[in-house]
Structure 1
Amino acid sequence: MKGSRFSEEQIIGILKEQDAGSKTADICRRHGISDATFYKWKAKYGGLEVSEAKRLKALEDENAKLKKLLAEAMLDNAVLKDLAAKKW
């Protein structure tokens, strides 16, 4: 997946510009983003502070690692079951 060219701090700064009263279309034009991107960011980061956004990113990374470990463990378990069934 392609990474964003904006950091969480920059995204939150852009969202706070709109909270300060700037028009969404002007903000999007100034930063070179689409309206859809702006509203996607607002849904994800709206109301968050920078520290909270960093914590959210850390939790998402940890969740991805745990999902990968679970998938590998389930695959190993399935292979062991197949071997045990064929051996007897």
Structure 2
Amino acid sequence: MKTPRKPTPETYIKDIRRKTRRIFTAEQKILIVMEALRAETSVAELCRKHAIQESTFYKWNKEFLEAGKKRLSGDVVREATSDEVNQLREENRKLKETVADLVIRYDIIKKSLDIMD
């Protein structure tokens, strides 16, 4: 049986950083990229201000520009909003209930007709 190794200080710090990583919303990412597009500050300064890596910023910038490029080229397929998804789920639930009710009624009528014969 293997005994677990005691974590080194480096792995301990990496674990803490991994567990406390900030999650940026889409809106926050857009605001940061837009701030860079205004060119009022350098990318390095902007990244320090928001405590992000430059590679992360450039990834967001590329995604932002690619999304705009797709939209402008006529690709109008978009993700449904959470409200739309919830509305569709509710409609789907109601339709399933209606179908189940109709199946039950059909079975009842069919059985009653079989009894009459």
Higher relative contact order, structure no. (Cα contacts within 8 Å, ≥ 6 residues apart): 1
| TM-score scaled by length of structure 2 | 0.40
| Structure with the higher fraction of residues in helix conformation | 1
| TM-score scaled by length of structure 1 | 0.49
Structure number with greater Rg is 2
